[in-house]
Amino acid sequence: MREISEHILDIAQNSVVADASEITLSVLADTAKDLLTVTILDNGKGMDAAMVESVLSPFTTSRTTRKVGLGIPMFRETALTANGSFDITSAPGKGTGVTATMEISNIDRPPLGALADTMHILITSNPDIDFIIRMACDAREEVLDTREVRTVLGSVALNNPEVSAWIREALTEMNDKVFGGENI
């Protein structure tokens, strides 16, 4: 079983390949509704309606190295197996949004996994892309926005070692504050 953080990494990688300059990642838990919602939103090149339809099939890919694209079908399978939903909205030239929901208590729902590490890797390996990271559980909500971090950094890059360490710490703290006490 794959962890949710691994799915997020996969789907956000699609956004990177689609030339996004801004990627929003949110992981929201509503324990009263027993609902976990994961959203990956980008301003990349987008897909037309036919592509969105076919992308849910594991035989659609624009990869040239192998014929089968699995990132989206695998995340969809995870969501549906955990009695959730899966939705893609996309428009050419505008961007793409992928939303998966799952029942928090469902036995087939994978754990969140290493969310902070995953997001840290995404940010520091794509220092020219802006990331808006949102984590929320019930009333607790934390946001890290690299556009704000940049205004403080000036010309210092997001993958500068000291900045990278700070981002990792900030994300870990966010994760602990929001999800630390919950069995998610």
Ligand X SMILES: Nc1ncnc2c1ncn2[C@@H]1O[C@H](COP(=O)(O)OP(=O)(O)OP(=O)(O)O)[C@@H](O)[C@H]1O
Q: In the set 4, 8, 9, 18, which binds ligand X (CB under 6 A)?
A: 18
Site string for ligand X, 77-106 (x = CB under 6 A): -------------------x----------
24, 25, 41, 42: which one binds ligand X (CB under 6 A) = 42
Q: Which residue has the tokens 């929320």?
A: 136
Interface with ligand X (CB under 6 A), residue from 48, 49, 67, 70: 70
End-to-end CA distance of the chain: 15
Q: What totals of helices (H) and strands (E) does the chain contain, helices first?
A: 6, 6
Counting other chains too, the contacts that 90-94 makes at CB distance below 8 Å and 24 or more residues apart are 90/46, 90/47, 90/48, 90/51, 90/52, 91/46, 92/45, 92/46, 92/47, 92/48, 93/45, 93/46, 94/43, 94/46
Given the rule CB under 6 A, which of 14-22, 103-111, 152-160, 173-181 is the region that contacts ligand X?
A: 14-22
CA distance 144 to 157: 16
| Positions 52 through 111 that interact with Mg ion (CB under 5 A) | 71
- Compute the least distance from the CB of residue 70 to Mg ion, in Å: 7
Q: Which one of the spans 7-15, 20-28, 130-138, 153-161 is the region binding Mg ion (CB under 5 A)?
A: 7-15
Q: Which residues bind ligand X (CB under 6 A)?
A: 10, 14-15, 18, 42, 44-47, 55, 60-63, 69-73, 96
